[in-house]
Structure 1
Amino acid sequence: MSIRYDDRVAIVTGAGGGLGKSHALALAARGAKVVVNDLGGDVHGVGGSSAAAEAVVKEIIDAGGEAIAHGANVCKADEVEDMVKKAMEKWGRVDILVNNAGVLRDKTFVKMTLDDFNFVVQVHLMGSVTCTKAVWEIMREQGYGRIVMTTSSSGLYGNFGQANYGAAKMAVVGFMNTLCLEGAKYGIKVNCLAPTAATRMTEDLLPQAALDLLTPESVTAGLLTLVDDEAPNRTILCAGAGGYARAVLYETEGTFLPVDAQTPENVRAALEQINDPTGQQEFTQGGQQTMKFLGKAAAAAGVKIG
């Protein structure tokens, strides 16, 4: 069965080029009405121009689709609210939000200024928060929503020289983990995309032969599965060069120490058991960890809880 977005309205941030452009074009090609958002700055977040977003809109319209451009800075609530207002005035709903806008200011932590750290966190984390906040009530009231946060292997696993970027990209995973719980009963599903693609952010990092394989379109194929009617919820989908995988945070079964043995020496002595992956679990709510530990303590004390 073909995946379509007819009668759906999508907002894609940072859609003037790279992954965002690929996402916007693909959504439009499958029937979505698209708000192409782009501030028009460079990869470091400097400057601004509507030309890139307008060019993507023209491409969509020339292909028979519907789209409008908006140059909202994703960190500025009033500009984002205006963008959402324009979408509502034109189409009456917002079904899909793809938080894709991003910047890089790479340096080793010792050389990185706090301003550069804060700026990257503001764009990636607070930009996603601001855009999501602007559509959240709309999606709740209409009983439908699909939101994607763009995370990264730099956040999930670390990457030299990207302390700011990695921190922000892991933060949006935490943001997703709570929103998917709060939005579920309103038909809102929230997921993360961890892309690897040849864009202006990666063009200076890899040889051309590798860049040729890392097409934005291969990532977009994954993105499209996160925003359709049958989308999963709370999934970190990794995509690049035709490869697709799910990243999962597990917690080991661990160990239990009675009150008179809860010392750092005993914790260190138990590290082998603490690190043992046998019986590890994927938790979907923070309280599950608490109940696991309480269960061990209660069993050792011979008491019942709950």
Structure 2
Amino acid sequence: MGIDFKGRVAIVTGAGGGLGRQHALALARRGAKVLVNDLGGARDGSGGSVSAADAVVAEIRAAGGEAMANGASVTDFAAVQAMVQQAMDAWGRVDILVNNAGILRDKSFAKMDLADFALVMNVHLMGAVHCSKAVWDIMAAQKYGRIVMTTSSSGLYGNFGQSNYGAAKMALVGLMQTLAIEGAKNDIRVNCLAPTAATRMTEGLMPEAVLQALQPEAVVPAMLVLASQDAPTRTILCAGAGTFEAANITLTQGLYLGMGEQVPEALAARLAEVTERAGEMVPESGAAQGSHEVGKAMAGRLPA
């Protein structure tokens, strides 16, 4: 049985070009009704026109699919609510949200204008918050939802000149962790996709041969799995050039050192043991860190 989306309704933000367009086309090809959202602005977020979204809708309809365009900025919660209402009025449900909208304002931190930091945080992080919030009650009521956040290796691992973008992209991982926990009882599964793809956002940054390997289409299978009925939850899937990986935020076994005047020196001297990755774990929730620490403390205090 293949992955199919018949009867499902999807909203894809930033779907006028690049990766978002590929997401929208792929979901439609497999039977989803797709609301194609795109502000139609420049790569830095300036300007706006619904023509990019309209073109993708025309493409979906030409192939026999169902789609609608929407030009809301994800930074405007009222406009986002109206966008979700547009999907509800037309199709009566929202099953899938792919938070893909984003902009770049790259500069080294020393040279970066704080307005450029705030705007990038606003589009990537608050944009995803607005869209997720606008669909959350609908998904909870229908006891079904699939939300895909778009994170990035720049957030997970850092990238020169992208402190704003990286901070926003890592924040989406934190958002995903808690929404996945809170959504579980209503079968709302929340995941992150970390794509490596050559799009308008990466133009001029890579040699041609590399750009050829990094087709945005190569990332789409990961999105389809994360948006599907059998999707995992709380998973960070990485994808690029036909390769798929998972990223995890792990906790090492650590070391019980107790409390006292000399603990800072002991910690400094034994830091390599604390950071040793053998036996590291992926905690089920934030509380697991505390449980681990208290467990170590209790064991550390027991007389031998």
Compute the TM-score of the two structures, normalised by the length of structure 1.
Answer: 0.97
2:116 is the counterpart of 1:120: no
Q: Mind listing any 5+ residue stretches in structure 1 that lack a counterpart?
A: none
CA distance 1:254–1:144, shift in 2 (3 Å): same
Q: For each residue in 1:89-148, what CA deviation from the matched residue of structure 2 results, as whole angstroms up to 9, or x when unmatched?
A: 000000000000000000000000110000000000000000000000000000000000
What are the within-5 Å matches in structure 2 for residues 149-188 of structure 1? 149-188=149-188
Give the counterpart letter for 2:277 in structure 1.
P
Q: Following the alignment from structure 1 to structure 2, what is the Cα–Cα distance between the partners of residues 262 and 285?
A: 31
Q: Following the alignment from structure 2 to structure 1, what is the Cα–Cα distance between the partners of residues 57 and 262?
A: 62
Q: Following the alignment from structure 1 to structure 2, what is the Cα–Cα distance between the partners of residues 187 and 291?
A: 27
For residue 262 of structure 1, report the CA deviation from its aligned partner: 5.5
Give the counterpart letter for 2:36 in structure 1.
V
2:38 is the counterpart of 1:24: no
Q: Mind listing any 5+ residue stretches in structure 2 that lack a counterpart?
A: none
Task: Judge which range, 143-152 or 208-217, deviates more.
Answer: 208-217
Q: Following the alignment from structure 2 to structure 1, what is the Cα–Cα distance between the partners of residues 121 and 284?
A: 25
CA distance 1:226–1:262, shift in 2 (3 Å): farther
Q: Following the alignment from structure 1 to structure 2, what is the Cα–Cα distance between the partners of residues 57 and 144?
A: 25
Q: Following the alignment from structure 1 to structure 2, what is the Cα–Cα distance between the partners of residues 223 and 299?
A: 43
For residue 261 of structure 1, report the CA deviation from its aligned partner: 5.4
Q: Following the alignment from structure 2 to structure 1, what is the Cα–Cα distance between the partners of residues 112 and 159?
A: 14
Q: Following the alignment from structure 1 to structure 2, what is the Cα–Cα distance between the partners of residues 262 and 171?
A: 35
Q: Following the alignment from structure 2 to structure 1, what is the Cα–Cα distance between the partners of residues 302 and 264?
A: 25
For residue 266 of structure 1, report the CA deviation from its aligned partner: 1.4
Give the counterpart letter for 1:9 in structure 2.
V
What are the within-5 Å matches in structure 2 for residues 32-181 of structure 1? 32-181=32-181
Q: Following the alignment from structure 2 to structure 1, what is the Cα–Cα distance between the partners of residues 113 and 264?
A: 35
Q: Following the alignment from structure 2 to structure 1, what is the Cα–Cα distance between the partners of residues 253 and 261?
A: 19
Q: Are the equivalent residues in 2 in contact too, given 1:176–1:192 (CA < 8 A)? A: yes
Compute the TM-score of the two structures, normalised by the length of structure 2.
Answer: 0.98
Task: Judge which range, 67-76 or 291-300, deviates more.
Answer: 291-300
Q: Following the alignment from structure 1 to structure 2, what is the Cα–Cα distance between the partners of residues 216 and 49?
A: 23
What SS does structure 2 have at the residue aligned with 1:6? coil
CA distance 1:54–1:263, shift in 2 (3 Å): same
2:206 is the counterpart of 1:223: no
Give the counterpart letter for 2:275 in structure 1.
N
Alpha-carbon RMSD: 1.0
What SS does structure 2 have at the residue aligned with 1:60? helix
Q: Are the equivalent residues in 2 in contact too, given 1:108–1:163 (CA < 8 A)? A: yes
Q: Are the equivalent residues in 2 in contact too, given 1:254–1:276 (CA < 8 A)? A: yes
The equivalent residue for 1:250 is: 250
Q: For each residue in 1:133-173, what CA deviation from the matched residue of structure 2 results, as whole angstroms up to 9, or x when unmatched?
A: 00000000000000000000000000000000000000000
2:276 is the counterpart of 1:292: no
2:14 is the counterpart of 1:9: no
Question: How many residues in Structure 1 have an aligned counterpart in Structure 2?
Answer: 303
Q: Are the equivalent residues in 2 in contact too, given 1:177–1:284 (CA < 8 A)? A: no
What SS does structure 1 have at the residue aligned with 2:98? strand
The equivalent residue for 1:273 is: 273
Q: For each residue in 1:188-207, what CA deviation from the matched residue of structure 2 results, as whole angstroms up to 9, or x when unmatched?
A: 00000000111001111001
Give the counterpart letter for 1:25 in structure 2.
L
What SS does structure 2 have at the residue aligned with 1:22? helix
For residue 250 of structure 1, report the CA deviation from its aligned partner: 1.1
Q: Are the equivalent residues in 2 in contact too, given 1:143–1:187 (CA < 8 A)? A: yes
Q: Following the alignment from structure 1 to structure 2, what is the Cα–Cα distance between the partners of residues 197 and 258?
A: 47
Q: Following the alignment from structure 1 to structure 2, what is the Cα–Cα distance between the partners of residues 82 and 259?
A: 55
Q: Which runs of 4+ in 1 moved over 6 A?
A: none
Give the counterpart letter for 1:201 in structure 2.
M
